[in-house]
Chains A and B, each alone.
Chain A
């Protein structure tokens, strides 16, 4: 089964999401404060479940979030837990250079899952 590309434009309360196996692009960026985070991220989790059965040799998943609410943080952990089971996964966690809270949030996630994290400020 081939995996369709997920390409969602960001809005004022939902992030931009690109999941593209063929081009090796996996990215969530922007703001995440949807009314129903579980519902919003359901397709992403389903996509990753399918991807895990046919994953690329390397998967570099990029998080470049400006803001996320607590409900989204739970779903981000669910995404990371899925990625944890995929061999060759690395996470790149971007944070704005003066955003200590976003840097700390990334550090906390990195302590909760067994996936290599790389931190980059912008």
Chain B
């Protein structure tokens, strides 16, 4: 039974206010969003920070929903399990997710996020406008804008990592920080 205490302790240590592990659907997305919203309402969180957290959560959750059927590995026996977490600290919210991806996607994802992380505010805006103008909605319903939007709304670099699971799949971890201190005057 010790794992219950261990999990509890980890959640406290990391200031996690919400953890969901399991299959991801639009219905689950809505429930998770509603829970996080209630939590932020309860503490009277600033509206603009609330909106940014909500925004990053939506893109993160819908990314998982859209790509959850891509990995079919014995390890997961048809269950496409992923994890989603929200941490609340004194000065920031930490929105993180983890899900298995096939190894042939690792390099593509890596390059995509690195490219975003290397852009400044104006660069991100230009890339966003370029993709929305020329890009098509993918068969999975994505506009290819999720990561860019997460970077823009949070104003932070996206932190990510790939942990090899076996020779077919890796575990993709993604972390986005939303500062709780309001921006002190915009630079434009």
* Chain A residues within 8 Å of B, Cβ to Cβ: 12-13, 33-39, 67, 69-71, 73-75, 77, 96, 98-101, 108, 111-112
Find chain B residues with CB under 8 A from A71 CB: 62, 137, 141-143, 145
Q: Is B160 an interface residue (CB 8 A)?
A: no
Q: Let me know if B79 is at the binding interface, CB within 8 A.
A: no
A67-B132 contact, Cβ under 8 Å, with A12-B30, A12-B34, A37-B141: no
Q: Contacts of A69 on B, CB cut-off 8 Å?
A: 58-59, 62
Known contacts A71-B141, A74-B135; is A108 also within 8 Å of B48 by CB? Answer: no
Q: Chain B: which residue is nearest A111 at the CB level? A: B129
Instruction: Give chain A nearest CB distance to B37 CB in angstroms.
Output: 10
Whether B186 contacts A73 by the Cβ 8 Å rule is no
4 additional A-B residue pairs with CB within 8 Å, beyond A69-B59, A96-B47, A100-B186: A35-B65, A38-B137, A75-B137, A101-B52
Nearest-neighbor residue (CB-CB) of A69 within chain B: B58
Flag whether B115 is at the interface (Cβ < 8 A): no
Q: Are A101 and B186 in contact (CB under 8 A)?
A: no
A16 to B62, CA, bound (A): 21
Whole-angstrom CA separation of A112 from B58 in the bound complex: 24
14 interchain pairs, CB-CB under 8 A? A12-B34, A13-B26, A33-B58, A34-B26, A35-B65, A38-B137, A67-B54, A70-B146, A71-B62, A74-B132, A74-B145, A75-B137, A77-B133, A112-B129
Cα A111 to Cα B26 in complex, Å, equals: 32
Question: Chain B interface secondary structure, helix, strand, loop or mixed?
Answer: helix
Complex interface: chain A residues within 8 A of B142 (CB): 70-71
Q: How large is the interface on B (under 10, 10 to 19, 20 to 34, 35 or more residues)?
A: 20 to 34
Is B157 an interface residue when CB atoms closer than 8 A count as contact?
no
Which residues of A sit under 8 angstroms from B137, Cβ to Cβ? 37-38, 71, 74-75
For A37, the chain B residues whose CB sits under 8 A away are 137, 141, 143
Query: CA A12 – CA B48 in complex, angstroms?
Result: 19
CB of B65 within 8 A of CB of A70, answer: no
- Determine the distance from Cα of A12 to Cα of B148 in the docked complex, in whole angstroms: 24
A86 CA to B66 CA, complexed, in Å: 34
B88 within 8 A of A: no
Chain A positions within 8 Å of B34 at CB level: 12
Within the complex, the shortest CB–CB distance from B63 to chain A, in Å, comes to 10
| B125: contacting residue among A12, A67, A75, A108, CB under 8 A | A108
Minimum Cβ distance to chain A for residue B124 (Å): 11
Given A13-B30, A98-B48, A100-B186, decide whether A73 and B55 contact each other with a Cβ distance below 8 A.
no
- A96 contacts across to B, CB distance below 8 A: 47
| A-B residue pairs, 6 tightest by C-beta | A70-B145, A35-B26, A74-B143, A38-B137, A70-B143, A71-B143
Cα A34 to Cα B65 in complex, Å, equals 12
